[in-house]
A and B are shown apart, each in its own frame.
Chain A
Amino acid sequence: MANKLIGEMGLHTKISNIFAARNIITAKDALSMTEFELMELLDVGMKEIRSAISFISEATSPPCQSARSLLEKKVENEHLSGHLPTHLKGLDDTLCGGIPFGVLTELVGPPGIGKSQFCMKLALSASFPVAYGGLDGRVIYIDVESKFSSRRVIEMGLESFPEVFHLKGMAQEMAGRILVLRPTSLANFTESIQELKNSILQNQVKLLVIDSMTALLSGENKPGAQRQPQLGWHISFLKSLAEFSRIPIVVTNQVRSQNRDETSQYSFQAKVKDEFKDNTKTYDSHLVAALGINWAHAVTIRLVLEAKSGQRIIKVAKSPMSPPLAFPFHITSAGISLLSDNGTELKGPGINTIHARGHSDMINFHGDCS
């Protein structure tokens, strides 16, 4: 819509020509300036400018839907009302059916915790026939860290869905639906995802996995401050891709140490600053999600995987649809399984802190805190 041509909107010819003469061709060009600036540039009265802007704005505005029609469309047109099952019952119940279509879902956790296992299981789920709770489509798996394992995927399939995988040729069919890309640089990745838009529609792609987003940036060796603008384009593109294609996009993120002077306070909270500093000292091992606040705002659902007192836990840290819950899990040959389908509700910002197994095991003190 932003690139809609002013000349083709049906605006009065005289005004349309004035815009064109000043090289204002698209709605984006016109609406990126204030009305006063346009008046100055085009040498036209404010009345005409307002009339033209009103016309262009109406032509450029997105369509209106009622929330009711949104719900009805989801229920009628999309599998499980627009969700990809994880086959983890407790988690699926919490997320109203599974990983939602149309938004970014993030998995974050320390190395070795099971993020890639989770992604491979999702890829399997998306490729499966509808009768078995799958989406019966293709998966694009962008494997930045070379963690994808075909052997592991087939093992998961045999253990999780034996009635399917033991059918002749089914293993080949299911595995054949997963397309793996291994970009070697951020530029390479950018190029790949730009090609995705058409490919997704033409080839029945039902899931996009990026494992991991962080690795793409850390390899570029640039100062931290520049990462935010660098990610900006990718954030916008992925979100609009998810929306446009109505598919789930699952992104993994790494963790990093939380700096002692990490920003987590507003100016009016200065009174409790000293208290916070004291607390910080006892949590030197605290980890937080990498990529910063801007990225955290961009993902709609954040699942944190961590190890605490020797127990692996998956936490729903951010979700518009559910309270913050934590589920204990373990990893078997069938992939990730929940030990309990009843989640424990967590309170406070601790939902976003991440424990690594090594630290917790070595220091009993941490195991007692919660």
Chain B
Amino acid sequence: MISFGRRKSPAIEETSLATSVMEAWRLPLSPSIRGKLISAGYTCLSSIASVSSSDLARDANITEEEAFEILKLANQSCCNGSRSLINGAKNAWDMLHEEESLPRITTSCSDLDNILGGGISCRDVTEIGGVPGIGKTQIGIQLSVNVQIPRECGGLGGKAIYIDTEGSFMVERALQIAEACVEDMEEYTGYMHKHFQANQVQMKPEDILENIFYFRVCSYTEQIALVNHLEKFISENKDVKVVIVDSITFHFRQDYDDLAQRTRVLSEMALKFMKLAKKFSLAVVLLNQVTTKFSEGSFQLALALGDSWSHSCTNRVILYWNGDERYAYIDKSPSLPSASASYTVTSRGLRNSSSSSKRVKMM
């Protein structure tokens, strides 16, 4: 992966030309400006950060505006390093509180919620993959409905963005799941009403569909364009709490010939998803297809897009058949143990498997 080079520590004293050139290279500057800086003798961050913009402009033969921009970048790099050293412990503590206070999106299957630590985590990118027909789109639709459960019913009260690359989103199915969700909320409210006189839930299935923003993506260029545009779109549409991409794979698998280029473009896309998740405190859910992979002398199923892509998601959930039941397996997560849980797809959406109470633990 290409690094954009924000330094995390104070600049190291100049020891060799190669080191100095590397330092300058790490700033996101155009090649001609970088060349001018090096030829003017500004080869490390500290030397740049210690001059005024007018001096830099005169020495390197660049405009005042350009010099100011360079100084800003250089100072950012230095300050980031300093700040992280001073505030590290506090940041970790703050992060703990932030993570504990974040709500999660229920999957409507409590067994699955349990192994996910309560549901799909906001501020994370979660990948869900599996074989054809295992229920990936069902999960995507279920999450786009569940994210809208009002806060008083234990939900987020947010909206959903559904990016459909395969044409799999069937609005009739979304309506079925929305209707079932409304009925469940009415039952929940009815129960709570006896004790708390809670306000009546006013949501209707049509309201739930209204809050799902649907984009039909027909090429990888459109997919890249839309991901670039999401930040602006989400800024303009408040309360989006989940972005679902169904699937991340399709166009890159069919249309892309240059695999090295594909890897670079996908990496950049992954970084943008992570940035979105952190900035807006929303969940990004990427659905993935499967492929076969030769490993240890035999072929095995693996999620598509290869090993480079494997690093791009915070959490990875693999859906598979175990006997006659659908199962989900936590394949990768920094905060969740590996575990599996069964689930089923019913006319009302994702639910616990009917035999979950008596199933044998095989994993």
Contact = CB atoms under 8 A, between A and B. Distances in A.
A-B interaction: yes
Interface of A: 1-2, 27-28, 31-37, 39-40, 42-47, 53-54, 56-68, 70-71, 74, 81, 96, 100, 102-103, 232-233, 235-236, 239-240, 242-243, 261, 263-269, 271-272, 293-294, 296-300, 302, 317-318, 320-324, 347-352
Interface stretch (B78-86, B97-105, B115-123, B298-306): B298-306
B146 interface: no
A59 B226 CA distance: 9
A44 B321 contact: no
Contact of A323 (B33, B254, B320, B346): B346
Interface string B154-193: 0000000010001111111111100000000000000000
A266 B301 contact: yes
Contacts of B168: 103, 300, 320
B142 to A, nearest CB: 11
19 contacts: A27-B225, A31-B224, A32-B265, A46-B28, A47-B69, A60-B222, A62-B216, A62-B226, A64-B213, A66-B209, A261-B299, A266-B329, A268-B318, A297-B289, A300-B167, A320-B168, A348-B321, A348-B324, A351-B133
A293 B249 CA distance: 13
A43 B31 CA distance: 6
Contacts of B20: none
Given A242-B167, A297-B250, A62 B210 contact: no
A232 B253 contact: yes
Contacts of B309: none
A2 B224 CA distance: 10
Contact of A236 (B170, B209, B255): B255
Given A64-B214, A243-B167, A323-B347, A53 B221 contact: no
Nearest to B141: A320
Contacts of B219: 1-2, 28, 236
A232 B255 CA distance: 7
A239 B32 CA distance: 45
Interface string B126-165: 0000011100011001001000000000000000001000
A323 B345 contact: yes
Give the interface size bracket for B toward A.
35 or more
Contacts of B363: 268, 271
Contacts of B267: 34
A234 to B, nearest CB: 9
Contacts of B301: 263-266
A81 B173 CA distance: 13
B329 to A, nearest CB: 6
A237 to B, nearest CB: 9
A235 B345 CA distance: 27
Contacts of B251: 236
Given A236-B251, A267-B295, A68 B206 contact: yes
Contacts of A59: 225
A64 to B, nearest CB: 5
A34 B264 contact: yes
Given A64-B233, A66-B210, A302 B133 contact: yes
Contacts of A235: 254
B229 interface: yes
Interface in B5-38: 28-33
A321 B172 contact: yes
B218 interface: yes
Given A64-B214, A242-B167, A31 B29 contact: no
A243 B216 CA distance: 9
B295 A268 contact: no
Residue among A34, A56, A297 with the most chain B CB within 10 A?
Answer: A297
A318 B211 CA distance: 27
A39 B73 CA distance: 16
Nearest to B170: A320
Contacts of B222: 1-2, 60-62
A81 to B, nearest CB: 7
Given A45-B33, A318-B133, A57 B224 contact: yes
B268 interface: yes
Contacts of A40: 30-31
A300 B137 CA distance: 10
A37 B29 CA distance: 12
Interface in B202-258: 206, 209-222, 224-229, 232-233, 247, 249-251, 253-255
B362 interface: yes
B113 interface: no
A261 B298 contact: yes
Contact of A66 (B211, B227, B345): B211
Residue among B225, B247, B289 with the most chain A CB within 10 A?
Answer: B225
B211 A293 contact: no
B292 interface: yes
Interface in B59-112: 66, 69
B362 A100 contact: no
> 8 tightest CB-CB pairs across the interface, nearest first?
A348-B324, A57-B228, A2-B221, A60-B225, A68-B209, A318-B133, A296-B132, A67-B212
A180 to B, nearest CB: 27
A263 B31 contact: no
Contacts of B324: 347-350
A174 B214 CA distance: 38
Contacts of B255: 232-233, 236
Contacts of B225: 1, 27, 31, 56-61
Given A1-B218, A43-B32, 8 more contacts: A32-B265, A33-B261, A57-B227, A242-B167, A243-B216, A320-B141, A322-B347, A348-B325
